[in-house]
Structures are given as structure tokens and as C-alpha cells.
Amino acid sequence: MNIESLTVIICTHNPREDYLCRVLSALQIQTLSKSQWEFLIVDNASSKPLDATVSISWHPDARIVQEEKAGLTYARFRGTKEARGEVLVFLDDDNVPDPDYLEKALALFKANPMIGCVSGDIRGEYEASPPSWFSGEYESWLAVRSVSKDRFSNFWHPRSEPCGAGMIVRRSIMNSLERSLSSTREGIVLGRRGESLLSGEDVEISHHAMDMGYLVGQAADLKLTHLIPSRRVSEEYLFRLYRNICASGHIITSKRTLFSPFKALVRQLPKELAKMILKAHPERRMALERIRAHFLAWRHLRVMSSSVVS
């Protein structure tokens, strides 16, 4: 398929105005001609409609659409339905792309027809300093990744798994995923919604891309800055986030296999309890959160099951 244009989609719910302004400013100075990309903002049940406060008149092919069903997954599917481009660039309302982000994204997908889903090098810009231990691999909890080398695969590997921030994916994959989720008994369950930190919608997208025979990966030339507010670097928030990340992984695994979070907890509990006794902070707290994550996933799966039955 000959790919000549992109659709940029920002899914947002009650955005922080200064952060969204920085994202929009970064899009205005993209090196890719505006004639080669369509621009959509999906207003996901914001308390104050964005079309009354946000101006996108600077782009010749831009519009704001509403998705009243709260949840990032629903917002992304709405953006996909509205999009005309074959390749979609999903930006969060706190993702500031480098000026050449769209140009390099388009070139990457034009040159590599087997690539289905990709993200890039993501710098973190912290409004307040995170805890001293929170660095390196821990920062991946907040979608901060240092990618110095391209890595692609058609199997799951942490070094080639894309994340949702700045994710670029073929529209055909998103359409196929929506059909697949709507036809299963579990339905659409993941993606941030309200105060819930359960996520994993990006994992489901990349897994589905691989199921369709595409490569997924991380590309070093795709660079953006993730703006991180002070509320997201408190220890309590970070550990709550970690618990939900682990729980989301259990939910996704249970949907694809016969994995049982409760049975897995029984097997792993002695080891996790030992870490809680013998390890120092933060490993001790992480062990506790992994235990709690099994219960969270188990409860969530039970709710999903009962809602389908009813």
C-alpha cells in the first residue's frame, strides 16, 4: 500500500491547558507539510468541551470530535473511525513531539511495509523531582524510555514493545482490534478511565499487530518529550501505578491464555513475602504491590465475567 499521509490523533480528557498548548505548538512547527497529515482531537468526556477553548484553525485539515464513553481505548477507536490516513499517530495531551517526528514516522512506514506498530525515544520532563530511587528502568512506569537503537520483532520482547505515548500504528490494525474485542466475551476493558490506572491498551495493540503478521518495535529517530506533573511522582502514586501495571499485565495474559492471577499468586507468594522481609526499599514495596496486583486483576476479571453473564 502506498502511504502518502498520516492522521495525528490526540485523545484527551480534561487536559492541563499549558501542557496541551505545548503539544499543539510542537505540531505547528512539524517539518512534514500540513498537506500530508490530518489532525484530530478526540475530546473524551471532558467536563468543559474543548471546542470552546482550543483553537486548531492553524491546520487546514483539523477537527475536534466527541467521544462521550469515558476511556482511552474508546477514544482511540473513535479517532480511528474518524481518520482517513492509513497510518495513525497517537499523541497524549502531554506528549511534545520533536519537529521532525511526523516526517520520520511517515518515512519509516513508507519504507517498511511490514512494520505495524512503533514508538520511539521518550524523554521525561518532570515538574517536580521524583524519588531518588526512581531512575533508569523504573521510569518506564511513566512511559519514559531511552531508545538508542532500532529494535523490531514479531514476538514479545521488552526491548521492542511499543508504548502508548507517541505510538504509530496502521489503521487496519486498530480496526481489526476493535472487531476482535467486540466479538469476545471480555470485550473492551483496558485503557485509562477516570481515576483508574489500569492500562495495557498499548500492549493489546502491539500484540494484535503481531497476530496479524506485522513487526512491532521502538525506533531511535522518533523522539518526543513526556511532560510529567508533580502529582505523578509521589511515592504513593508511583507504587499505585506499578500495582496497576502489573494487574493489567495479568489481565491481558489471562485473556490470551489460561493464566489465573489467583493461582499464580499462590505459587509466587512465598518468594514475594521473602522479598518483603529481606529486601530494602523500593524492592520491598514492589513485592507488596505485586501481591496486591494479583488480587486486583482477579477481582477485575470476576467483574468482567459477571457483567458478560448478566
- Domain regions of the chain by residue span: 6-231, 236-309
Instruction: Tell me how far apart the terminal alpha carbons of the chain are, to the nearest angstrom.
Output: 43
**Over residues 272-299, mean pLDDT:** 95
User: Is the distance from CB of 93 to CB of 15 less than 8 angstroms?
Assistant: yes
For the stretch 94-135, pLDDT in tens is 999 999 999 999 999 999 999 999 999 999 999 999 999 999
Radius of gyration over every alpha carbon of the chain, rounded to an integer in angstroms: 19
User: Is the distance from CB of 117 to CB of 208 less than 8 angstroms?
Assistant: no
- The C-alpha atoms of residue 307 and residue 237 are separated, in whole angstroms, by 29
**Over residues 31-46, mean pLDDT:** 96
What fold does the segment set 6-231 form as a domain? Spore Coat Polysaccharide Biosynthesis Protein SpsA; Chain A (3.90.550)
pLDDT band at 158 (very low <50, low <70, confident <90, very high): confident
What pTM was estimated for this model as a whole? Answer: 0.92
- The C-alpha atoms of residue 156 and residue 15 are separated, in whole angstroms, by 32
Q: What is the pLDDT of residue 262?
A: 77
- The C-alpha atoms of residue 120 and residue 27 are separated, in whole angstroms, by 17
pLDDT band at 310 (very low <50, low <70, confident <90, very high): very low
Grid cell locating 2: 502506498
Q: What is the pLDDT of residue 193?
A: 64
